[in-house]
Structure 1
Amino acid sequence: LSIFLALSLFACQDVVRPAIPEQIIPEAKMADLLVEAYIGNAARSNNNRVLRMGGVQLDSILYAKYEIDSLQFAQNTAYYAAQIDPYMRILQQVETKLSVVKKSLDSLALIDAEQQKKDKESFLDSAKTNVLNQKIIPAISQ
């Protein structure tokens, strides 16, 4: 019984939440930053070798664009993650913005596929015309 009581007392601990960062990033800016971070992580997972060979540091580009540093980003991420309501609002914005980006990319992919189809049809028509011309012109010349 005394062991159970001792464990119960030690199990009750204070949860320390991160303090508000000195340079807090507004929710809207944090959402934009996270959108670009997620896109960067996706790019890194698809083209990591290309990025490394090109010397591209996506995080550094992101920090420079938003005029922050890695510590400020980490502090703000920890702060917002501990604040449920603001964090949920930020994540909702991120989800909405990523959905818009996805729709845009899907539209571009569809346009590209249609253009490739037209190019292929044009090439095939051109090839058929060339073959016909090669057969008809010599026959007319004779």
Structure 2
Amino acid sequence: MNKFIYIFFISFLIYSCTSNTILKKPDDLIPEDKMVDLLTDLFLADNAKNTKNLQLERQVNYYPLVFEKYNIDSTQFKESNFYYTSRVDEYDVLLLKVNERLSALNKKFEELKRQEDSLVDVDKIMKNKVIDSINNIKKRTVKSIKEDIRER
């Protein structure tokens, strides 16, 4: 009898913990492709909080700008996000697409950064050559002045 109570209790607990909630699709659901774009920009906006902007400010909330860009409000986003998160498989596909886009953006950024660094290196080399040329001219000028003084 004691085992039966434990088994009943455990099965009741397991059954009550599983969610069979099927959410109704919101009337103003954000389409999947737009949601991928939106989530990509929201991830970028979230990470931009710790970076100084052009006015040298940090901790700027860029979410309103992202919502404005896509002509949505935060309520519409929350409802759509809640709907997609209730469908784990679909949301997983969305997040994979977002991850692919962020990876592609990161790859482009790294390439641009590498090009910029190589230009900086070329610039340093050119500056050093110019400085060396100026120093050589100064040395020759000083030598020629010294020789002129000796000859007199």
TM-score of the pair, normalised by structure 2: 0.79
1:46-90 residue CA offsets vs partner (Å, 9 max, x unmatched): 4498234xxx43000000001111111111111111113321221
Larger C-alpha radius of gyration, 1 or 2?
Answer: 2
Partner of 2:137: 133
- Which amino acid in the other structure matches residue 58 of structure 2? L
- Structure 2 residue 128 is the aligned partner of structure 1 residue 121: no
Question: Which of 1 and 2 has higher RCO (CA within 8 Å, sep 6+)?
Answer: 1
Looking at structure 2, the residues matched to 17 and 31 of structure 1 have their Cα atoms a distance apart, in angstroms, of: 22
Give the unaligned 5+ runs of structure 2: none
Q: Is the 8 A contact 2:37 2:98 kept in 1?
A: yes
Q: How does 1:1-142 map to 2 (within 5 A)?
A: 1=2, 4=6, 5=8, 8-9=11-12, 12-13=15-16, 15=19, 16-47=21-52, 50-52=57-59, 56-141=60-145, 142=148
Q: How many residues align?
A: 139
The answer to whether the Cα contact below 8 Å between 2:42 and 2:66 also exists between their aligned partners in 1 is: yes
Distance 2:32 2:47 in 1: 22
Deviation, 1:40, is 1.3
Q: Quick one: percent identity of the two aligned structures?
A: 24
Deviation, 1:10, is 6.0
Q: Which has the higher helix share?
A: 1
Task: Provide the aligned C-alpha RMSD in A.
Answer: 2.3
Gaps of 5+ in 1: none
Structure 2 residue matching 1:19: 3-state secondary structure: coil
**Runs ≥4 in structure 1, deviation > 6 angstroms?**
none
Q: 1:132 to 1:46 in 2, by over 3 A?
A: same
The question of whether the paired residues in 1 share the 8 Å contact of 2:50 and 2:58 is answered with no
What's the offset of the Cα at 1:41? Answer: 1.4
Partners of 1:3 and 1:113 in 2: how far apart? 70
